[in-house]
Amino acid sequence: MKVLVINCGSSSLKYQLLDMQTEKVLAKGYCQKVGIEGSFSDHEANGVKTHSHRQLKDHKQALKLMSKFLTDKKIGVIFNINEIDAVGHRVVHGGENFSHSVIIDGKVKEAIRECIPLAPLHNPPNLMGIEACERIMPNTPMVAVFDTAFHQSMDKKSYLYAIPYEYYEKYGIRRYGFHGTSHKYVSNKVAEILDTKVDEIKVISCHIGNGASICAINKGKVQDTSMGLTPLEGLVMGTRCGDIDPAIIKFLSDKEGYNIHKIDDILNKNSGLLGVSGISNDIRDIEQAESEGNQRAKLALEMFAYRVAKYIGAYAAAMNGVDVVLFTAGVGENGIKVREEVCAYLGYLGIYLDKEANDSRGKLKEITTSDSKVKVFVVPTDEELMIARETKGLIG
Ligand code: AMP
């Protein structure tokens, strides 16, 4: 069975074609600046990389180019686009409608559309991708895999905000959580490595990349997660502030005369590591600056690790214990120093870092010593594979 995984952003298209017998990636690509002047695309299959500068007017044209690459006589991996058995689409927000992946039909598309107010930047391009695919592959079944679905197992006491209840009823204001596909993949993977079932262990999953969230997974069910109504809440991120006192918004508005949109922009795009360090949203640049004695860079890194450690403590308490802590995504998989700094706070849990094991990037491995009471793992995430598995599960 061949499954195509599609992730559509407002001006981008990422795709992977997987053979689900072997779970091998047959081809993958990334089209950027779709609908904007200067489009370009990168495609890779059988170790051959192809770069294209063709202008892409919209997502339909981007998908046509993908189809051309996939079926090309020289570098193609299939003869005909109809050889693709199913398409799995990443959809960011499913609201309360979807606790699982679903086969896409008119009603599902309508429900995704209804969630646009909750994810105005993400759901419209996700829908655009679905509709463009339907035009190119009208007979191929499609599945929607939601970032929010895994978190739907949270209890009301975890997902409600303590604001008047009517706003939850009227507008669905609550914690939804994001990165669900990644948290699900890595928690299942770690259970597999430990030769146990995910519903027998308590896991704290730290997905820390440019966007970052942490998730308490109690015997396979999400008990709590750090992102909220939007991906702004929780950890210190590349450019997002994470948790702040909401009164700061009015305070800033009074002092600087900013309107609400300007403040929202500051909190999403100019805060986090970038805002504190004044240097970059990328940990690598900040670590470099810290090594040259920059004090703000040092402070940004300290705040970043401290916030992760605080959430781990809160979630260990909420679950009345934890068996495994895991790190994933760009910083989680590669940030040796960040992992060391986070683990330095966790001695009270019986977590003892094995510094030699931790001196590694992008590899699945345990990084705690054998006498550690709680195991810590680095688990590279693979959201595309998870989407392909969910798609196969529904279509296959
Ligand atoms: P992601 O959003 O998961 O792609 O993660 C991107 C972030 O990972 C970058 O902004 C960096 O902060 C971080 N990152 C990537 N590679 C490294 C590395 N080798 N060492 C430390 N951090 C890294």
Q: 97 is in which domain, residue-wise?
A: 2-146
| 296 Cβ neighbours under 8 A, 6+ residues apart | 276, 277, 278, 279
CA distances from 87 to 64, 132, 205 (A): 15, 12, 28
387: in domain: no
When divided into structural domains, the chain yields a total of 2
Which of 42, 85, 147, 195 is labelled catalytic? 147
183: in domain: no
189: in domain: no
Q: What mean pLDDT, rounded, does the chain reach?
A: 97
Tell me the pLDDT of the chain (396 aa) as tens digits: 999 999 998 899 999 999 999 999 999 999 999 999 999 999 999 999 999 999 999 999 999 999 999 999 999 999 999 999 999 999 999 999 999 999 999 999 999 999 999 888 899 999 999 999 999 999 999 999 999 999 999 999 999 999 999 999 999 999 999 999 999 999 999 999 999 999 999 999 999 999 999 999 999 999 999 999 999 999 999 999 999 999 999 999 999 999 999 999 999 999 999 999 999 999 999 999 999 999 999 999 999 999 999 999 999 999 999 999 999 999 999 999 999 999 999 999 999 999 999 999 999 999 999 999 999 999 999 999 999 999 999 998
Alpha carbons 71 and 54: distance in angstroms, whole number? 17
With a 6 Å cutoff on the Cβ, whether 208 touches ligand 1 is no
Is 323 annotated in the active site?
A: no
100: in domain: yes
pLDDT tens across 232-248, in order? Answer: 999 999 999 999 999 99
Q: Provide the residue count of the chain.
A: 396
Q: Do 140 and 215 fall within a single domain? A: no
Q: Do 342 and 227 fall within a single domain? A: yes
Q: Do 209 and 344 fall within a single domain? A: yes
Q: Do 245 and 340 fall within a single domain? A: yes
Q: Taking Cα atoms as reference points, which of 386, 390, 393, 392 lies closest to residue 85?
A: 392
With a 6 Å cutoff on the Cβ, whether 283 touches ligand 1 is yes
With a 6 Å cutoff on the Cβ, whether 335 touches ligand 1 is yes
CA of 47 relative to ligand 1 center, distance in Å? 24
Q: What is the pTM of this model?
A: 0.95
CATH number of residue 275's parent domain? 3.30.420.40
Q: Do 209 and 345 fall within a single domain? A: yes
